[in-house]
Chain A
Amino acid sequence: MLLGRVHGTAVCTLKYPGTEGLKLLVVQPLNKNLEPVGSLQVAADVVQAGPGDLCVMVRSREAALAMPEITFVPIDLALVGIVDELEVRNAAGFDLLLKPGWNQFA
């Protein structure tokens, strides 16, 4: 599951049967520092996100499961949440390396 910024909408008149009525939004996947990762993609919207919203997205089969009525449609990216608050600490302050021997975390 990852973050994404909505950049626009995609309107398709000719679609795979069963995907009618699904709003398609153009999204840019982001990483934890809200920097773009990869290229723009089209996601099916389930939570009525608007342009410019920061959203939570889910990929692969779980995106098809996120649809309102669960039918197996060829959807592999779905918007499942709209982010209200995002708090991310600086990664430099944490020990992210696994060294040989005992790594004590608690």
Chain B
Amino acid sequence: MILGKVLGTVVTTISHPHFKNRRLLVIQPLGLPGEAPGDDFLALDSTHAGIGDTVLVNREGGGARLVLQNPDACVISLIVGIVDSVHLD
């Protein structure tokens, strides 16, 4: 799972039934200072995160299918948590 910041929202009325017209959020991964920023991607929202929230994103299909309780869900990135604080040594 990775830490990311929600930068935007995507509204799709016509989408795959597995998405259950949930909101799709634009995620920019957080990085260490002096490191090249990761490339942004979309993630399905299951925790009602908003723009500006720091979230935990699961980027593997198996985990997303478990969370969505749908063995055939075509979802890779899924938000699984909203992060309050992070401590780095």
**Which chain A residues have a beta carbon within 8 Å of chain B's beta carbons?**
1-3, 31-32, 37, 46-48, 56, 58-63, 65-66, 70, 78, 80-89, 91, 94-106
Contacts and interface: CB of A to CB of B under 8 A. Distances in A.
A7 to B, nearest CB: 19
Please report whether the interface of chain A is mostly helix, strand, loop or mixed according to DSSP.
mixed
Interface in B57-87: 61, 72-77, 82-87
Contacts of B24: 1, 56, 81
A1 B14 contact: no
Contacts of A91: 7, 28
24 contacts: A1-B41, A1-B42, A1-B77, A2-B41, A31-B40, A56-B10, A58-B74, A58-B75, A59-B76, A62-B73, A62-B76, A65-B73, A78-B74, A80-B15, A81-B15, A82-B12, A85-B10, A88-B8, A97-B32, A98-B32, A102-B85, A105-B53, A105-B83, A106-B82
Interface residues of B, number: 47
A87 B5 contact: no
Contact of B88 (A37, A82, A96, A101): A101
Contacts of A83: 10-12
A101 to B, nearest CB: 7
Contacts of A63: 74
Interface of B: 3, 5, 7-16, 18-19, 24, 26, 28, 30-33, 37, 39-44, 51-54, 61, 72-77, 82-89
B87 A103 contact: yes
